[in-house]
Amino acid sequence: MASTITTTSFSILLLVALVLFLQSPPPSSATTFNNDIANHLIKSFNLFPPHDINIISDPNVRPADNNNKIVEKPLRFPNFSGEGEGISIDDLAHRAGYYPIQHSHAA
């Protein structure tokens, strides 16, 4: 009697596992679903806005060259050239640790 109950429960457990396995989506659709979510999140960051608001046109770059691309440009400070001025970036970085920063701890 005990072996019949064990065999029956094992059969039911096996049947439930088989049904759950057959109902699960194939891995390719799960991957596609994850890719769709990732694409939606990236588009929600609005890295490529559809409107030309706050886009500075550069005469050296043709519009076809920078469509849907992120462009990295070096920063240039108006009153600081760095080259040949006697003040280097390394010099500024060396002294930066000696000045206290308000509302900071162990910076």
Model confidence at 5: pLDDT above 70: no
Q: What is the pLDDT of residue 97?
A: 66
Q: Total domain count for the chain?
A: 1
Domain span at residue 89? 35-52+59-98
Q: Cα torsion at 92, 97, 98, 100 (round to 10°)?
A: 120
Model confidence at 33: pLDDT above 60: yes
CB 68 within 8 A of CB 48: yes
pTM for the structure as a whole: 0.24
Whether 8 maps to a domain, the answer reads: no
Whether 105 maps to a domain, the answer reads: no
For residue 32, the Cα-to-chain-centroid distance in whole angstroms is 18
pLDDT in tens, 48-98: 666 666 566 666 655 555 456 666 666 666 666 555 566 667 766 766 666
Whether 103 maps to a domain, the answer reads: no
Model confidence at 37: pLDDT above 60: yes
Whether 81 maps to a domain, the answer reads: yes
Contacts of 70 (CB under 8 A, 6+ apart): 47
